[in-house]
Amino acid sequence: MTISLGYQIPNFTYPGGVETLFDTVQAQAREAEASGFDTVLVMDHFYQLPGLGTPDQPMMEAYSTLAALAASTSTIQLSTLVTGNTYRNPTLLAKTVSTLDVISHGRAILGLGAGWFELEHEQLGFDFDTFTERFEKLDEALQIIHPMLRDERPEFTGKWYRAHGAMNVPRFRDAVPIMLGGQGERKTFRLAARFADHMNIIAAIEDLPHKVQVLRQRAEEIDRDPATLKTSYLASVVLTENRAETDALLAELPEDRRNRAFIGTADVVAERIANDVLGAGVEGIVVNAPSNGHVPGVVTALGEALSPLVQR
């Protein structure tokens, strides 16, 4: 199982407030499932991110939300984009995602990254460490999590983590897929080549052909067939009714966000994604619609426009 067309929900600030918050999330997931998306994803954060809102805006805990969505849907895969490794002990995370897989009857994907949002760490009491140390932790965590998701009992003692014959039951499948997210060519891509089934590339659109090439090289360096490491790309989408509305929204968007945003009518957005993302060699697309994804019909329009582009 891989991600060909994913819908990410990064925003939980909706009309109606907390009383209908999960109802709105659930409606988006069900709409995605019915309109051609194969995966629903949420962010693993505790505060809202810069660029999407302010830290005090609503942010649902990821795995509680995914477990509830597992009971609200029947076929769509469920994942984070991506889990912050620094927030959970690796054995706990393996147990958590395996439980999600059981609840969902085999629809979980473990999305994982090194963690980056310093404010959350500082205010909530998680160790932030240095950039290098966070990737040391991610490497060690994967050496524990990868076997635990494959019916193995790891023996590992590292600088940051340890596990001694760690058991992980029940499990629904022989292996839960692992997805890494990021763009780092020296660290993230090498870890993806060693441990991951899927790599979600988060980068400027113009950098995608180069990133795809380097990721393939990282697989070849360890004698792995690059075709076994699937890829996708995360992009924000705003659907508009006409060119005038598109131009007005683009004028308001900061320059640093234009290179990863697709704004326009459904046909225009689909054409751009086909050319700029899939045409660069990326196999799948994950989109979010933070401004209006909660509006009934928006997710359906996205699914209907984008699902013909991707191979299942």
Q: What is the pLDDT of residues 205-239, one digit of tens each?
A: 999 999 999 999 999 999 999 999 999 999 999 88
What domains are defined for the chain?
5-309 (3.20.20.30)
Q: Rounded to an integer, what is the distance from CA 224 to the centroid of its chain?
A: 23
Sequential pLDDT tens for the chain (312 residues):
689 999 999 999 999 899 999 999 999 999 999 999 999 999 999 999 998 999 999 999 999 999 999 999 999 999 999 999 999 999 999 999 999 999 999 999 999 999 999 999 999 999 999 999 999 999 999 999 999 999 999 999 999 999 999 999 999 999 999 999 999 999 999 999 999 999 999 998 999 999 999 999 999 999 999 999 999 999 999 888 888 877 777 777 666 666 668 888 888 899 999 999 999 999 999 999 998 899 999 999 999 999 999 866
Grouping H, G, I as helix, E, B as strand and the rest as coil, residue 108 is strand
Provide the 8-state DSSP code for 49. Answer: P
Q: pLDDT tens, 5-45?
A: 999 999 999 998 999 999 999 999 999 999 999 999 999 99
Whole-number pLDDT of residue 100: 98
Q: C-alpha angle 101/218/146, rounded to 5°?
A: 25
Query: Any idea what DSSP says for residue 104?
Result: T
pLDDT for residue 239? 84
User: For position 257, what pLDDT does the model report?
Assistant: 65
Asked if residue 107 lies in contact with residue 32, where contact means CB atoms within 8 angstroms, the answer is: no
Nearest to 113 by CA among 40, 37, 183: 183
- Residue 291: the pLDDT is 85
Asked if 47 and 86 count as a contact pair (C-beta separation under 8 A), the reply is: no
Record the pTM. Answer: 0.94
**Nearest by Cα to 257 from 80, 50, 55, 115:** 50
Residue 310's SS3 state is: coil
Neighbour count for residue 243 (Cβ, 10 Å):
11
